[in-house]
Amino acid sequence: MPKISDRGIEMPASPIRKLVPMSDSAKARGLRVYHLNIGQPDLPTPQVAIDAIRNIDRTILEYSPSDGNRSYREKLVHYYAKFNINVAADDILITTGGSEAVLFAFLACLNPGDEIIVPEPAYANYMAFAVSAGAIIKTVTSTIEDGFALPAMEKFEELINEKTKGIMICNPNNPTGYLYSRNEMNQIRHLVKKYDLFLFSDEVYREFIYTGSPYISACHLVGIEENVVLIDSVSKRYSECGIRIGAVITKNKALRNTLMKFCQARLSPPLIGQIAAEASLDAPDDYFRDTYEEYVERRKCLIDGLNRIPGVYSPIPMGAFYTVARLPIDDADKFCEWLLTDFEYEGQTVMMAPASGFYTTQGVGKDQVRIAYVLKKEDLVKALNVLEKALEVYPGRTI
């Protein structure tokens, strides 16, 4: 039998989706499963997007341009300007979700064996995209005790060598919900400039910031404009995960021309998705206001509820709609499986993502889980009650 590639063997399984078969089995047994494991917003997609799809008046669903529809990219220019991100339509390439944006950025910027530095815990698929590009992720570890603040710059510099090509951040952060401060962003800027690195900045959660501190985009950092590669997606801000529309943005013309070759090789981004995404830019202001206020309430409900459970601790996330919580357990992977295979409370159980999958350092985050507050408050309260009951009887409880 032919052998699977080394790359395929090295490719990590998703820590978010690997428990799905167990969840399906739990549902087949009649249990209600509260999904706190994945960042799939349950709030409605803007009606203007739904209407745009319903009212498509075309006789052919053709290829779109490889870099995306011009009309959509031009409208995005005005969207970004609202956040003081000043780009031109030609700086933007539309991708099949933010995932393809990260993958193309890595393929265009990194040679096999090149290294990028990523604060951990980090979105698990960054590792998968690095494997796809033959690159190596080196991590600096942030801690729950410090609220997942950016590690000291000395930790970054210890990792920098002739193979280091970039730094990857997610701001606001998935999985922790941490929001990098102006001072932290300036520290990153200093490193990027000093060592002439790429700065890959995933900013798909910019609408979801729950603090008076300003949102500092990598595009706001002066003097490294051509080093910045901005990653974006409509999945979260418009609850449009399924239309698979993202963007990779750079002012570096040589890099843009290289990215364009990858875009051409995959032909075009989704046509229907672009139609919906372009229409979404006309969503009324109250759409974002209502969405934002709902997440603020959910965050308070979840964090207050978690920290009331004996032995549980979660810092207060300042952005996105995730938190990483520490539980009084021996192994979060085993606990999350046990919840789906061996536990129920009044016909209910909870699905969470073990945080170990968001770390590359072995053994770190073993007692942590990532929780997405993408359920309505009534269900969050029920899920927290189920979690508390589970912790009371879990065989691997540590306190």
Residue 18 domain-assigned (yes or no): yes
pTM of the model: 0.96
Torsion sign (Cα): 174, 178, 181, 187: negative
Question: What was the pLDDT predicted at 291?
Answer: 96
Tell me what pLDDT residue 213 has: 85
Q: Is 398 within a domain?
A: no
**Final residue of a domain: which of 238, 263, 280?**
280
245 and 171 in one domain? yes
My answer on whether 126 and 251 are in the same domain is: yes
Distance CA 312, CA 60 (A): 55
Same domain, 262 and 351: no
pLDDT at 18: 79
Instruction: Give tens-digit pLDDT for 268-280.
Output: 999 999 999 999 9
- Shared domain for 30 and 52, answered yes or no, is no
| CA atoms of 217 and 196, how far apart (whole Å) | 19
Same domain, 158 and 252: yes
Same structural domain for residues 27 and 175? no
Mean pLDDT of the chain: 96
Distance CA 384, CA 209 (A): 23
pLDDT in tens, 58-116: 999 999 999 999 999 999 999 999 999 999 999 999 999 999 999 999 999 999 999 99
Domain count within the chain: 2
**CATH label of the domain that carries residue 57:** 3.40.640.10
Q: Does the structure show a pLDDT above 80 at 15?
A: no
> pLDDT-based confidence at 306, cuts 50/70/90?
very high
Q: Which of 280, 308, 329 is the last residue of a domain?
A: 280
Domain stops at, among 230, 253, 280: 280
Name the residue range of residue 301's domain: 6-44+286-393
Evaluate whether residue 399 is within a structural domain: no
Angle at CA of residue 85, ends 98 and 43, nearest 5°: 50
In a domain, 269, yes or no: yes
Residues 145 and 164 in one domain: yes
What is the number of other CB atoms lying within 10 angstroms of the CB of residue 113?
A: 10
Return d(Cα 237, Cα 258) in angstroms, integer: 28
Q: Find the mean pLDDT for residues 236-244.
A: 96
Structure tokens at 214: 């300003």
Query: What pLDDT was estimated at residue 294?
Result: 97
DSSP tag of 43: S
* Domain contains 207: yes
Do 29 and 114 lie in one domain? The reply is: no
pLDDT at residue 37 tops 90: yes
Q: What is the pLDDT of residue 240?
A: 97
Domain harbouring 368, CATH code: 3.90.1150.10
Residue 373's pLDDT band (boundaries 50, 70, 90)? very high
Q: Are 361 and 45 in contact (CB under 8 A)?
A: no
Work out the angle between the directed axes of helices 253-265 and 97-109 (0-180°, nearest 10). 120
**Do 202 and 335 sit in the same domain of this protein?**
no
Tell me if 355 is assigned to some domain. yes
